[in-house]
Structures are given as C-alpha cells and as structure tokens.
Amino acid sequence: MYAVIEAGGKQYTVNEGEVIRVETISAKVGKEISLDRVLSVSTDKGLVVGLPYVEGAKVTAKVVEQGRAKKVVTFKYRRRKNTHHKRGHRQLFTGLKIEKIIYEG
C-alpha cells in the first residue's frame, strides 16, 4: 500500500516504514503527526484518486530529525567588470518516518 501526499507545496510518494525529508514542520523530534492532504491511495481494490484530496485518508508519521540540508552555492561572475557575487543557502528540513497509511472508504 502506498499513498501520494502533499507537504510543503510538494508531492511525495510514501510507503509504510520509509523515511522522507519534507519542508520544515514545527514539531519536536519524537512527536507523531498526521498528514491529511492525501492526493491518492493505493488499496487492495485499486487506486483511489481524490478531487483534490481523498476523503477519509490520512498518513501518520513520526518526526525523526530536524536539520539543514547541504549548502547550495550560487556564484555570479561578470568577466572584465571586476564583479562577482557568491551566496550560499541551507534549506531547513524535517525527517519523517511513515508509520501508517489509513484509508476508510
């Protein structure tokens, strides 16, 4: 059984037991959260697709880490103009372990 969820404006395909990294969620490590923006669920009877979300479906996950991703460096250079800009960015993320995919339908 798998589900397609929406978190932080992005879509993720999740299975039970796997760990995913999503945009940062304000929750402490060890806390269990519920994700109710489920776009589709695969069941024994087939695929259920929501309009836009599936009624009666949710995914429970446990927060396993809060962190920052690797640095992304941007470098802008103009030749012969003595101009360059170097900037770095580290995106915040939350690591979630998918505990259960629940569908009541």
pLDDT digits (tens, 9 = 90+) for 53-105: 999 999 999 999 999 999 999 999 999 999 999 999 999 999 999 999 999 87
pLDDT at 105: 77
Instruction: Measure the CA–CA gap between 85 and 105, rounded to whole angstroms.
Output: 54
Q: Which domain holds residue 8?
A: 2-103
Q: What is the pTM of this model?
A: 0.84
The total domain count for the chain is 1
- Give the pair of three-digit tokens for residue 105: 């339908």
Q: What is the pLDDT of residue 96?
A: 97
Q: How far is 67 from 60, CA to CA, in rounded Å?
A: 20
